[in-house]
């Protein structure tokens, strides 16, 4: 047994068997792709008339401006609101004061549990019911719903990121007389941000994809602009392929950004590993927990 692993190295027979599995799986995947392409061809999905809108300047402009740009605007607005929401409620969950900690916990857990599409429908018919025009009403319904859901998720990310900072950092800050608020804003948050950056970028990907759910409330963006195209040309499948490809490309760019930030600020750790770095026992390692006292006295969060 090798010293660095907990299992025996595979022998020649195992290596050959794994190679056979890989070949069989590869052939099966190629067969599945070939079957899908054949079905698309057999049903006329590759005909020029069905793809013509996507090489027509007028439709290209509509897809990019009224579709992609508006989708990015909604996602960006939701992410900004979600970050603010996450900071406030994430820090609130770390408070020593029960009257603040428990309401923050309740709000975060509630919005994490409610489906995003339900939040959009509620915002559309309850909160923004009297707003005109309709495009503005749908825009802010989608943005608010995504802000609440992603903000609740980011609240846990911020809490875990702060708890991932070594406890000695907070103890040293208390030892020189810093107050709890100063420890949080000057010592813990700046260090935790480096850990949280990949998770925040990953949540941006989620927010971008979830803008498509705005279709349920006549939302704007790529899914909205696709409807008149496939209604006019009867090209549902080509339209779905093009719109999906645009989502995939933008999400891949955001993922590449997350990996670059990961290497620049955190190191060579895996993205998922850093995202779960706060999932440890916080009773002994949390740098900011109930019972901490500093030389500067109480107060603060």
Q: Is residue 115 part of a domain?
A: yes
∠ CA 170-175-176, nearest 5°, is 105
Q: Is residue 70 part of a domain?
A: yes
Query: How much of the chain exceeds pLDDT 70, in percent?
Result: 85
pLDDT value of residue 284: 41
128 versus 27: which is more confidently predicted? 27
Long-range residue pairs from 269-274, CB within 8 A, at least 24 positions apart, any chain: 271/198, 271/202, 274/195, 274/198, 274/199
Token pair in block for residue 300: 């603060």
Q: For all residues of the chain together, what is the average pLDDT?
A: 82
Q: Is residue 100 part of a domain?
A: yes
**Is residue 96 scored above 90 in pLDDT?**
no
Of 114-118, 145-149, 202-206, the range with the lowest mean pLDDT is 202-206
Q: Is residue 277 helix, strand or coil?
A: coil
- pLDDT-derived band at 286 (thresholds 50, 70, 90) equals very low
pLDDT value of residue 91: 87
Q: Which of 97, 205, 210 is nearest to 148 (CA)?
A: 210
Average pLDDT over residues 74-78: 92
Burial 89-122 (b: 16+ CB within 10 A, else e): bbbbbbbbeeeebeebbebbeebeeeebeebbbb
Contact 223, 214 (CB under 8 A): yes
* Residue 231: exposure state from Cβ atoms within 10 A (0-12, 13-18, ≥19): exposed
Q: Is residue 6 part of a domain?
A: no
Average pLDDT over residues 3-16: 73
Q: Which of 164, 256, 159, 157 is nearest to 197 (CA)?
A: 157
300 vs 122: CA distance, rounded Å: 35
Q: Is residue 130 helix, strand or coil?
A: coil
Average pLDDT over residues 191-206: 82
> Total domain count for the chain?
1
pLDDT value of residue 245: 92
Contact 170, 287 (CB under 8 A): yes
- pLDDT-derived band at 8 (thresholds 50, 70, 90) equals confident
pLDDT value of residue 266: 63
209 vs 19: CA distance, rounded Å: 36
Q: Is residue 208 part of a domain?
A: yes
**Is residue 23 scored above 70 in pLDDT?**
yes
DSSP state letter for 264 = I
Q: Is residue 13 part of a domain?
A: no
**Is residue 69 scored above 60 in pLDDT?**
yes
Q: Is residue 1 part of a domain?
A: no
User: Residue 123 is part of which domain span?
Assistant: 53-280
Contact 86, 159 (CB under 8 A): no
Q: pTM for this structure?
A: 0.74
pLDDT value of residue 35: 95
**Is residue 147 scored above 50 in pLDDT?**
yes
Assign residue 147 the CATH number of its domain.
1.10.3720.10
pLDDT value of residue 103: 92
pLDDT digits (tens, 9 = 90+) for 225-238: 888 888 888 888 99
pLDDT digits (tens, 9 = 90+) for 255-281: 888 778 777 766 655 544 444 444 444
Average pLDDT over residues 79-91: 91
Q: Is residue 299 part of a domain?
A: no
**Is residue 84 scored above 70 in pLDDT?**
yes
């Amino acid at each position: 047994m090798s010293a660095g692993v907990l299992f025996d190295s595979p022998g020649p027979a195992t290596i050959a068997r794994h190679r056979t599995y890989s070949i069989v799986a590869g052939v099966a995947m190629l067969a599945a792709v070939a079957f899908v392409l054949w079905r698309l061809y057999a049903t006329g999905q590759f005909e020029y008339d069905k793809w013509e809108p996507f090489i027509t300047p007028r439709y290209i402009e509509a897809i990019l401006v009224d579709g992609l740009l508006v989708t990015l605007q909604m996602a960006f607005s939701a992410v900004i609101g979600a970050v603010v929401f996450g900071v406030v409620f994430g820090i609130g969950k770390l408070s020593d004061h029960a009257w603040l900690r428990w309401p923050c916990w309740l709000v975060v857990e509630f919005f994490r549990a409610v489906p995003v599409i339900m939040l959009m429908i509620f915002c559309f018919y309850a909160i923004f019911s009297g707003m005109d025009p309709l495009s503005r009403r749908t825009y802010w319904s989608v943005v608010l719903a995504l802000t609440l859901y992603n903000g609740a998720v980011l609240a846990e990310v911020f809490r875990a990121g702060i708890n991932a900072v070594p406890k000695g950092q907070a103890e040293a800050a208390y030892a020189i007389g810093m107050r709890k608020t100063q420890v949080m804003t000057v010592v813990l948050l700046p260090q935790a941000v480096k850990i949280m950056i990949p998770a925040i970028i990953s949540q941006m990907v989620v927010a971008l994809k979830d803008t498509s759910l705005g279709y349920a409330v006549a939302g704007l963006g790529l899914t909205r602009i696709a409807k008149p195209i496939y209604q006019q040309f009867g090209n549902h499948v080509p339209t779905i392929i093009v719109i999906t490809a645009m989502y995939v490309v933008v999400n891949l760019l955001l993922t590449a950004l997350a990996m670059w930030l990961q290497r620049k600020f955190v190191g060579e750790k895996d993205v998922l590993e850093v995202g779960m770095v706060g999932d440890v026992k916080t009773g002994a390692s949390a740098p900011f927990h109930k019972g901490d006292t500093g030389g500067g006295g109480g107060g603060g969060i």
